[in-house]
């Protein structure tokens, strides 16, 4: 058994690995960047080593520094978690060449499944069904256009070296293809250093089904059943569950055995996930479920599999890396109940899910569910890393039971001043179609109006804020407003300020209490600053009528489409900002002329920076 383990990762997954390692008596070593020195995973490890500046390229992606830290601290093994170097075959080889144990897939398996086109060809040879598409070596734009035309629209352009939802574009017509291809290539080159792509038929009613597989060095391979990851936004998973709604026993057997067959085809060892795309227009059927790709690592959503099987997958990883056989045979594994995971992100759904950064001045997680988090109150959400705050995991007897518990948990999240998607998650989990399992990958886009909270406070928020600012003598709150009026009932109207805007609220009886903290109200997963109205304050916020094009998030300017003096039309793209591997295009709010440029390409900007100034047509 491994007796000491270096975790080549950070945040939530580092804490997750440390938790299991400590339980089984393994010494843990954390590596961290300069700005992560006070993070919980650093404190909880038995030893910690700083490996560089905040930039991931100089720290968490620096193989030399990580291996050096392992050698200096006497670590016997390295666990890469997910992301960063977890699917880097060269790093896996360097770890083993250094005499260390690699707690991950063999380098040969990572290479075999790392490039989507090569992986699909291998699966075809192994008899695993794959999605129709183009996997050719000819990467000329003209050839890719012809292949897409032949496949028939809509199609999906995917980066050959892609993953995590990056480097993917849906194209609905031939006219859209050139621009989508260029954008996909640019993102793929930035994220993976490889701009090659493949083309797939886009399934109009797609479900994303994945199967957890595990192999050992003794030739054993098992599956731990499927997960449904269909609820996505921009190809990024939002809510995952296990088992998959609507999956009958025969279809489950066919899909899970196909996953085992795929793992055997690459002599797989360790934890991995075989991802399938299902055409769910006629329910889940084995003959309409196709291989997409393999993730040769532990997945973000592995806790839902742990919940329904009762197994610790990190412990399985350690056992297999130590040379032990799998702890259970296939016939010993079974499904118990239903589990769901929601990813709580530092982002603002009301502004297009732009990342939100800053210090977590107030942070409270709900009780009664599993919470895997990399942060605590007082920590910073930085622009350097993924903005996930926590994973919220519920377990119940049925799909509806698990959804109800998770919705309640999301609604009780309290975070300030960083914005989160908690209210969006609660609304999604409460949606009638989600409760019945009627989801596919287009669910969020179809129901966005219902799922995304409005920018203005609801009547419930206003009522709760109004009661919160009315202190009752001796504690508590008044249940009604005061205000004697001649020949009229007493006035129950009160002036308040919520979210920077002023409101007049007519108090109602029977209002429910809300959680408040230092002038912030938490209700239904949202957070609102509130208080008495300031003198002369009319509320509201300025729009773009002044012509200032403002950075909505911190990031890097990767493209400028206009120059000073250019004439622009309303809706015309002006500038593209990238942050956390996400691109945000800012467009002209009206017809006019670029009167001033305040930024250069490749510049780093902070949220609220004025990038350029427009003058409208008179």
Question: What is the secondary structure of 319-334 as a DSSP string?
Answer: HHHTTPPPSS-GGG--
The 8-class DSSP code of residue 130 comes to B
SS3 313: helix
SS3 481: coil
Cα angle 485-489-495, degrees, rounded to a multiple of 5: 70
CB of 147 closer than 8 Å to CB of 179: no
Task: Classify residue 158 as left (phi > 0), alpha (psi -120 to 50) or beta.
Answer: beta
Cα separations in angstroms, 243 against 225, 370, 581: 7, 18, 31
SS3 126: coil
H-state helical runs in 98-196: 107-114, 116-125, 141-151, 177-192
CB of 377 closer than 8 Å to CB of 439: no
**Which among 218, 210, 289 is positioned nearest to 254, based on CA atoms?**
289
Calpha distance 374→308 (Å, rounded): 23
H-state helical runs in 292-376: 302-309, 313-321
SS3 416: strand
**Which among 442, 459, 464 is positioned nearest to 451, based on CA atoms?**
442
Q: Can you say how many angstroms the Cα of residue 96 is from the centroid of all Cα atoms in its chain? A: 31
CB of 451 closer than 8 Å to CB of 428: yes
- What 3 state SS string does 34-75 have? HHHCCCHHHHHCCEEEEEECCCHHHCCCCHHHHHHHHHHHCC
The 8-class DSSP code of residue 203 comes to P
Task: Classify residue 458 as left (phi > 0), alpha (psi -120 to 50) or beta.
Answer: beta
Calpha distance 224→310 (Å, rounded): 10
Calpha distance 35→56 (Å, rounded): 11
Catalytic residue ranges: 297
CA distance from start to end of the chain: 76
């Amino acid at each position: 058994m491994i007796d000491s383990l270096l975790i080549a990762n950070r945040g939530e997954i580092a804490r997750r690995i440390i938790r299991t390692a400590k339980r089984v008596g393994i010494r843990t070593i954390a590596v961290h960047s300069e700005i992560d020195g006070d993070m919980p995973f650093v404190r909880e490890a038995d030893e910690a080593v700083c490996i560089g500046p905040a930039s991931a390229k100089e720290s968490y992606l620096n193989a030399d520094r990580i291996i050096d830290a392992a050698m200096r601290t006497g670590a016997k093994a390295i666990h890469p978690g997910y992301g960063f170097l977890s699917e880097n075959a060269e790093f896996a080889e360097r770890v083993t060449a250094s005499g260390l144990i690699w707690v991950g897939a063999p380098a040969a398996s990572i290479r075999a499944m790392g490039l989507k086109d090569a992986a699909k060809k291998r699966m075809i040879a192994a008899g695993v069904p794959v999605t129709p598409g183009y996997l050719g070596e000819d990467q000329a734009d003209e050839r890719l256009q012809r292949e897409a035309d032949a496949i028939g629209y809509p199609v999906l352009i995917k980066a050959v070296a892609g993953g995590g939802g990056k480097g993917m574009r849906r194209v609905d017509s031939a006219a859209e293809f050139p621009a989508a291809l260029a954008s996909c290539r640019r993102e793929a080159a930035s994220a993976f250093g490889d701009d090659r792509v493949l083309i797939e038929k886009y399934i109009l009613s797609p479900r994303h089904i994945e199967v957890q597989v595990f192999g050992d060095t003794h030739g054993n391979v098992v599956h731990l059943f499927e997960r449904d990851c269909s609820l996505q936004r921009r190809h990024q998973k939002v809510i995952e569950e296990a088992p998959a709604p609507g999956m009958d026993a025969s279809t489950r057997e066919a899909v899970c055995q196909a996953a085992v067959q795929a793992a055997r085809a690459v002599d797989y060892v360790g934890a991995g996930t075989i991802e399938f795309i299902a055409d769910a227009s006629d329910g889940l059927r084995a003959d309409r479920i196709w291989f997409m790709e393999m993730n040769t690592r532990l997945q973000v959503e592995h806790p839902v599999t742990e919940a329904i099987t009762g197994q610790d997958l990190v412990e399985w990883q350690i056992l297999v890396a130590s040379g032990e056989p799998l702890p259970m045979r296939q016939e010993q594994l079974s499904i118990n109940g239903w589990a769901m995971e929601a990813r709580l992100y530092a982002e603002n759904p009301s502004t297009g899910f732009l990342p939100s950064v800053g210090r977590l001045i107030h942070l409270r997680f709900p009780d009664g569910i599993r919470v895997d988090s990399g942060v605590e109150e007082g920590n910073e959400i930085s622009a350097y890393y993924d903005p996930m705050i926590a994973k919220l995991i519920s377990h119940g007897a049925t799909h509806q039971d698990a959804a109800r518990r998770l919705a309640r948990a999301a609604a009780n999240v309290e975070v300030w001043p960083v914005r989160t998607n908690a209210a969006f998650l609660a609304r999604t989990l409460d949606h009638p179609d989600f409760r019945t399992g009627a989801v596919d990958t287009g669910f969020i886009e179809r129901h966005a109006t219902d799922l995304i909270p409005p920018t203005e406070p609801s009547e419930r928020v206003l009522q709760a804020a109004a009661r919160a600012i009315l202190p009752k003598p001796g504690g508590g709150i008044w249940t009604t407003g005061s205000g004697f009026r001649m020949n009229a009932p007493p006035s129950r109207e009160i002036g308040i300020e919520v979210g920077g805007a002023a409101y007049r609220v007519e108090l109602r009886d029977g209002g429910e209490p809300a959680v408040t903290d230092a002038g912030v109200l938490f209700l239904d997963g949202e957070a609102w600053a509130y208080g008495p109205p300031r003198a002369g304050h009319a509320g509201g916020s300025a729009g773009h009528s002044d012509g200032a094009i403002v950075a909505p998030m911190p990031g890097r300017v990767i493209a400028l489409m206009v120059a000073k003096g250019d004439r622009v039309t309303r809706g015309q793209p002006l500038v593209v900002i990238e942050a956390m591997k996400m691109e945000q295009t800012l467009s002209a709010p009206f017809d006019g002329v670029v009167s001033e440029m305040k930024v250069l390409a490749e510049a780093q900007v902070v949220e609220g920076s004025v990038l350029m100034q427009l003058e409208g047509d008179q």
